[in-house]
Structure 1
Amino acid sequence: MSARPLSLQARLMAAVIGFVSLILVIVAIITSATLGTSLEQRLTEQLGSYAASTTKWVANAEPAAALTGTQLAERALQGQRVPPGLLLAVFPPGQSGSGVTITSSGQAPTLTSGDLFELTEALRESRVATVSLPSGGSYLATVTQTPSGTIVVTGLSRSEVLGTLGSLFTVIALATLGGLLLLALTTALTISMGLRPLRAVAATATRVAGQPLDRGEVSITERVPDFEADPRTEVGRVGVALNTLLDHVDSSLAARQRNEERMRRFVADASHELRTPLASIRGYSELSLKALAQVQDPDHRARTLESTTTAMERIQAQSLRMTRLVEDLLLLARLDEGRELQRSDVDLTQLAVEALTDAQPTALDHDWELEVPGDPVMLSGDAGRLHEVLANLLANARTHTPAGTTITLSLHTTGDSAVLRVHDDGPGIDPEVRDELFARFARGDVSRARKTGGTGLGLAIAKAIVEGHGGTIRADSTPGDTTFTVTLPLAAPEAASPAAAEQKPAQ
């Protein structure tokens, strides 16, 4: 089983404390080595001074009666100012060596044979050496010789040097331990406060993950608090990024919800539109079958033929209505896929004249006006589909306005765009349906009541065709002033053709 991974806070603390500990250890080693070298050098200088003195003292004591090494050492030190920790060993010619050490209390214990052996071995190859005596203590010793040939070994205790270094190590260890504890506490607080925005991000993400996003209406209201999402800090920018992401997801969910609701309405409206002609077809079919069953009766022959003819006419009318509806739905689907448009050079001036001319006979009780430039307005597009746009807009204005309304179709250019406007001075569009005006199966209110039994797809088709040409369509309406504006990109300048129509009101 794999080990549990450490948290980011634990890894950061371990890295910081480990790095600082390494630095402190290196500093302690360098400091101790430097101080130890300095103390040893000082002790060596003192030893050289005392070695010269002890050699002189021994040389002065030699003329006395024959003395042992210990007696000679004690006689040499007699009356001298001797520092505590001094070691003096004397090796007279032809005699075994002996010596004494001076303690801090002023006593002079004799060196053992083991001590003398260690001194002899240490100084055999070197004039100055560090010796650890079996009787206790570490000494820095040096060897000299009197004029008479007596060998003198002088040493100074290293206890002060070792004590100083030990105290230094103790102070460094305690200071390092205290500093590391303080560093650990400070680092833990600093990292904990620094990572608090990340914890807020994780908590927010966890709450969002726990929301049931598969329900019908979903809104993500969870956000990282503003004080935890400061864009001036690196961790704060994570909170800002998550809030931005949640805003986008929330917008996408809202858009998805709107699309689903629109799709449900679309399916319901399409089902309603198809159910009416299908019910008519079924009813008239049943009527025809009943009539045909009675065709053998001479008394009912004429009446049967009349009712059958009427039923077949109604069946044909409803079939045509259903066919138009299905064709409109198919056209919208193809336009949504970017298909169905067959582009060629189109003269919008001529197209506007033809569209208004076709619309006039359908509503002789309306006043029709046409305002177009004298020169052709050319663009690249599908002439048939653009004509359908104008026909739908003119039919919409005619259908939803009362008799006597003036309907004006105008065309002009601005920059690299052509602008078509269909204006009427009718009652206007209800503000409640204005936002859904170009939706599929959209219906107007009673002020623009549907009179012809249209499917509600005309404006949706017009919008899809215009957008397929890279243009835009919008509606602006107030009582007595309703305008549908279509903006289309113009084609590259070409040689102008003869004017398709004069700028004058249609007759």
Structure 2
Amino acid sequence: MRTNLDAQVTSASSRILFLPNSSRTAASVLDNGRQEVGTLLVMQSYDGRSGAYIDQSGGVVALTDTETSSLVGSVDPGGWGTVSVAGLGEYRVKLQGATGYLYYIVGMPTSELSSTVAQILTTVTLLTLGGLLVLAAVIAIVIRRSLKPLRSVADTAARVAAQPLDSGDVTISERVPASEADASDEIGRVGAALNTLLDHVDTSLAARQRNEERMRAFVADASHELRTPLAAIRGYSELSLKALSLGGGEGATTAQIEAGAQHSQHGLERIQAASLRMTTLVEDLLLLARLDEGKELVYGAVDLTRVAVDSVADAQAAGPDHEWIIEVGEEPVIVAGDGARLHQVMANLLANARVHTPEGTRVTTTVRIEDGDAVVRVADDGPGIDPAVADELFERFARADSSRARQTGGTGLGLSIAKAIATAHDGTLSVESEPGATVFEMRLPARPETPAC
């Protein structure tokens, strides 16, 4: 900018025309030339010092002696200078010599330069502010778009929080949209994690509901099972009391007394049978509760081969009309567990095979080691399990035979107890059945017969 202004001053100096016959004053020189508005001229000749400038209207205005002296005193000896003229402002001036003159000074106002600089500064400021505003808008848009998945996560969490989850059949269907749950970026991982959490919570709530329904069914079944022997006890006790009153009254004959005694004895026998059945049921329920709590087991080294041999021998004595086969290896199969409870599982599986299959059915019991597990299988070639009850076979009070007779129906707790015992031993109990082939399999962690030191 300063270079351009200096070029203007040099150009104005080259246009100064000194006429020999004109009055030797700055005003006369400027009046005879074609100078730009604002051009300043100070002349020092033998006739004296004078100064003038061209105002905005193009007229020539003479400077006072005081203004001229002040201007001359401010000029740099090197020829260039920037001076301030009272009432005119700041000028860029150049000192030169000429024929017939000692020197002359030509100047141009710096107001244009200041105006240009001011415009540039204003432009730069406006552009900077505009750029900052645009940048702020872009950043706001980017942040808003980046945080959109988080808002979706918050909205989803708020909707889930508004649902009643404390009771009843509850299903959480709310999920963060898949487009905002992209696990490839950090913010999307939050949505994906929330969806995973909601899946787990939904699964847990469904399991809780199933457990509640199972518990209600369990309580109903237990109440039904207990109601039958209690009703029998009450009925036979009332019958026995009535028989005693008839046989023991005044004037009762010997025959009436004997009949009353017989009825009382029969009633007491039925009361005893009902109480035993109720005791067995209560003990089974108590055993299940203790197994669920991780209690009731006494651990030790158990030879499953010996347990299988003894259980098959007992089953053969109870069901001589069936064909009993046992297949075991020469080496014992050792597990860490409760021998009495594992014997109970074996006895239950063999009893089911005996009770729910016709005479002549072949029942095969095998014990072996497979993939580091002790595996016990009880297989029969009977008619198989009804598919309608196969999925609920290990549920409490489930029966393949709907009869309530003790010989066939039972209480429906045997297989559920067997599965609970297997689970308490960190094992599994499963069944596969089709007509002609039913296999119950118990798989337990095995251990070597002689532990390594």
> In the alignment, which residue of structure 2 is the partner of 1:327?
283
**Residue 85 of structure 1: aligned partner:** 38
What SS is found at the alignment partner of 1:407?
A: strand
Residue 138 of structure 1: aligned partner: 90
Cα deviation for residue 57 of structure 1 reads 9.4
**CA deviation after TM superposition for structure 1 residue 406, in Å:** 1.7
Measured in 2, the distance between the counterparts of 1:421 and 1:311 equals: 43
Q: 1:109 aligns with which of 44, 58, 61?
A: 61
C-alpha separation in 2, matches of 1:475 and 1:126: 114
- Contact 1:142–1:154 (Cα < 8 Å) also in 2: yes
Give 2:192's aligned residue.
240
Who is 2:438 aligned against? Answer: 482
**Secondary structure, aligned partner of 1:109:** strand
Secondary structure of the equivalent of 1:308?
helix
TM-score, normalised to structure 1, is 0.75
Give the Å deviation of 1:306.
2.4
Instruction: Read off the aligned partner of 1:102 and give its amino acid letter.
Output: I
The corresponding residue for 1:229 is 181
C-alpha deviation, 1:125, in angstroms = 12
Deviation at 1:423, TM superposition (A): 0.9
Tell me whether 378-387 or 125-134 shows the greater mean CA deviation: 125-134
C-alpha contact 1:427 1:448 (8 A) present in aligned 2: no
User: CA, structure 1 residues 280+91, in 2 after alignment: closer, same or farther (shift >3 Å)?
Assistant: farther
* 1:5-60 alpha-carbon deviations (Å, 9 max, x no partner): xxxxxxxxxxxxxxxxxxxxxxxxxxxxxxxxxx135535765x589989x999x9
Give runs of aligned pairs for residues 351-430 of structure 1, distance below 5 A. 351-430=307-386
Aligned with 1:247: secondary structure? Answer: helix
Residue 7 of structure 2 corresponds to residue 40 of structure 1: no
Alignment CA distance shift 1:166-1:490 (3 Å): same
1:155 counterpart = 2:133: no
Aligned partners of 1:399 and 1:448 also within 8 Å: no
Q: Whole-Å Cα distance in 2 between the matches of residues 448 and 280 of structure 1? A: 14
Instruction: Indicate the larger mover: 195-204 or 156-165.
Output: 195-204
Distance in 2 of aligned mates of 1:53 and 1:221: 90
Question: How far did 1:475 drift?
Answer: 0.2
Question: How far 1:74 moved relative to its partner?
Answer: 3.6
Deviations along 1:135-159, whole A, 9 cap, x unmatched?
3443234678999997865532113
Q: CA deviation at 1:214?
A: 4.0
Give, in angstroms, the shift of residue 242 of structure 1: 2.9
Match of 1:350 in 2: 306
Q: Deviations over 1:247-281 (max 9, x none)?
A: 22221221111111111111111111111122222
Q: Which moved more, 1:301-310 or 1:479-488?
A: 301-310
Q: Superposition pairs for residues 433-448 of structure 1, below 5 Å?
A: 433-445=389-401
Whether the aligned pair in 2 keeps the contact of 1:429 and 1:447 (CA below 8 Å) is: no
Shift of 1:391: 0.7
- Following the alignment from structure 1 to structure 2, what is the Cα–Cα distance between the partners of residues 439 and 138? 105
- CA apart distance, 1:387: 0.4
Secondary structure of 1:212's counterpart equals coil
Aligned: 1:470 with 2:423: no
Alignment partners' CA distance in 2, 1:57 and 1:320? 143
Displacement of 1:468: 1.5
Unaligned runs of 5+ in 1: 1-38, 496-507
**8 Å contact from structure 1 (residues 122, 129) kept in 2:** yes
| 1:275 alignment partner AA | R
Does residue 1:168 correspond to 2:120, yes or no? yes
Q: CA deviation at 1:380?
A: 1.7
Q: Given that residues 85 and 157 in structure 1 are in contact (C-alpha distance below 8 angstroms), is that contact kept between their aligned partners in structure 2?
A: yes
- Compare 166-175 and 76-85 and name the one that shifted more: 76-85
Q: 1:448 to 1:321 in 2, by over 3 A?
A: closer
Matched, 1:279 2:241: no
Q: CA deviation at 1:171?
A: 3.9
Distance 2:34 2:426 in 1: 113
Q: Distance between the aligned counterparts of 2:124 and 2:67, measured in 1?
A: 34
Whole-angstrom distance in 2 between the partners of 1:419 and 1:114:
124
Q: Is the 8 A contact 2:281 2:411 kept in 1?
A: yes
For residues 348 and 324 of structure 1, what CA distance do their matches in structure 2 show? 26
- Say which is worse superposed, 409-418 or 149-158, in terms of deviation: 149-158
Aligned length: 447
- For the residues of structure 2 that align with 1:125 and 1:263, how far apart are their CA atoms? 111
Q: 1:139–1:356: structure 2 CA closer, same or farther, 3 Å change rule?
A: same
CA contact under 8 A between 1:400 and 1:449: conserved in structure 2? no
- Root-mean-square deviation (Å): 4.0
Q: How much has 1:170 moved relative to structure 2?
A: 4.7
Q: 1:252 is matched with which residue: 198, 204, 215?
A: 204
Q: 1:480/1:109 Cα in 2 relative to 1: closer, same or farther (>3 Å)?
A: same
- The residue aligned with 1:316 is 272
Distance change >3 Å, CA 171–CA 478, structure 1 → 2: same
SS at match of 1:423: strand
CA distance in 1, matches of 2:260, 2:410: 32
Query: Aligned letter for 2:195?
Result: N
CA gap 1:448/1:111 in 2 versus in 1, 3 angstroms: farther
Q: Which amino acid in 2 is paired with 1:461?
A: I
Greater relative contact order, per chain length (Cα 8 Å cut-off, separation 6+): 1
Of 218, 241, 253 in structure 1, the residue corresponding to residue 170 of structure 2 is 218
What's the offset of the Cα at 1:318?
A: 1.9
Task: Judging by fraction of residues, say which structure has more strand.
Answer: 2
Identity of aligned residues (%): 51
Structure 1 stretch displaced more, 314-323 or 192-201: 192-201
Once residues 279 and 233 of structure 2 are traced to their aligned partners in structure 1, the CA distance between those partners, rounded to angstroms, is 13
- Contact 1:336–1:464 (8 Å) recurs in 2: yes
* Pair 437,122 (structure 1): closer, same or farther in 2 beyond 3 Å: farther
Structure 2 Cα separation of the partners of residues 91 and 283 of structure 1: 149
